[in-house]
Amino acid sequence: MPLETYVARVLAGEAARESPPAALEALAIAVRTYALANRTRHRADGFDLCDQTHCQVVRASTAVSERAAQATAGQALLFDGAPASIYYSASCGGRTERPSAVWPGAADPTYLPSQHDEACEGQPEWEAELRAADLQRALTASGFRGTLRGVRVAARNESGRVARLVVDGMTPTDVSAQDLRMAVARIPGVPQVRSATFELRLAGDVYRFTGHGNGHGVGLCVIGSVRLAAGGASAVAILERYFPGTTVSGGGARLTAVPAVRPAPPSADVAARAALPPPTPAKPEITAWLPSADDRERDALIGLASSARDELAAALGVAAPSRLTIRVHPTAGDYERATARSWFTSGALATGEIHLVPLGTLRDRGMLERTVRRQVAQAMTAPALDGRPLWVREGAALYYGDGGAGAPGGRIDARGPCPADAELAQPVSAGALAEAWARARACFARQIAAGRHWREVR
Ligand SMILES: [Zn+2]
Ligand SMILES: [Zn+2]
Q: What pLDDT is recorded for position 46?
A: 82
pLDDT confidence tier of residue 10, bands split at 50, 70 and 90: very high
Ligand 1 centroid from CA 38, angstroms: 9
Task: State the Rg of the chain over Cα.
Answer: 23
What is the pLDDT averaged over residues 78-90? 94
| Nearest alpha-carbon partner for 183 in 130, 141, 127 | 141
Classified as helix, coil or strand, 394 is: helix
Amino acid 251: pLDDT = 44
Compute, in angstroms, the gap from residue 201 CA to the centroid of ligand 2: 25
Ligand nearest to the CA of 91: 2
Q: How far is the CA of 229 from the centre of ligand 2 (A)?
A: 13
Residue 171 pairs with which residues in a beta bridge? 145
Q: Which CA distances in Å does 228 have to 72, 98, 149, 243? A: 18, 21, 45, 14
Between the CA of 311 and the centroid of ligand 1 the distance, in Å, is 38
**Which range has the top average pLDDT, 25-29, 135-139, 247-251, 349-353?**
25-29
CA of 193 to the centre of ligand 1 (A): 23
Amino acid at 269: D
User: Looking at residues 14-29, what average pLDDT do you find?
Assistant: 93
Output the CA 39–ligand 1 centroid distance in Å: 9
Residue 2: pLDDT over 70: yes
| Residue 161 alpha carbon to ligand 2 centre in Å | 13
Query: Which ligand has the nearest atom to the CA of 224?
Result: 2
Counting ligands in written order, the one closest to the CA of 44 is 1
Distance 269 CA to ligand 2 centre (A): 39
- CA 288 to chain CA mean position, Å: 19
Ligand with smallest separation from the Cα of 122? 2
Q: Give 252 or 76, the one with higher predicted confidence.
A: 76
Q: How confident is the model at residue 377 (pLDDT cuts 50, 70, 90)?
A: very high
Percent of the chain's residues with pLDDT above 90: 50
CB-based neighbours (< 5 A) of ligand 1, an ion: 50, 54-55
291 Cα: distance to centroid of ligand 1 (angstroms): 14
Alpha-carbon dihedral sign for residues 60, 338, 398, 191: negative
Q: Which ligand is nearest to the CA of 50?
A: 1
Percentage of residues of the chain with pLDDT beyond 70: 91
53 CA from centroid of ligand 1 (Å): 7
Does 340 or 173 have the greater pLDDT score?
173
Q: Which pLDDT score is estimated for 250?
A: 73
Select, from the ranges 1-10, 181-190, 378-387, 421-430, the one with the highest average predicted confidence (pLDDT).
1-10
Strand pairing of 347-350 and 145-156?
Answer: unpaired
Q: What is the pTM of this model?
A: 0.56
Per-residue model confidence (pLDDT) at position 7: 97
Rounded Cα gap, residues 106 and 124, in angstroms: 27
The rounded Å distance from CA 271 to ligand 1 centre is: 22
CA of 56 to the centre of ligand 1 (A): 7
The closest ligand to the CA of 57 turns out to be 1
CA of 368 to the centre of ligand 2 (A): 26
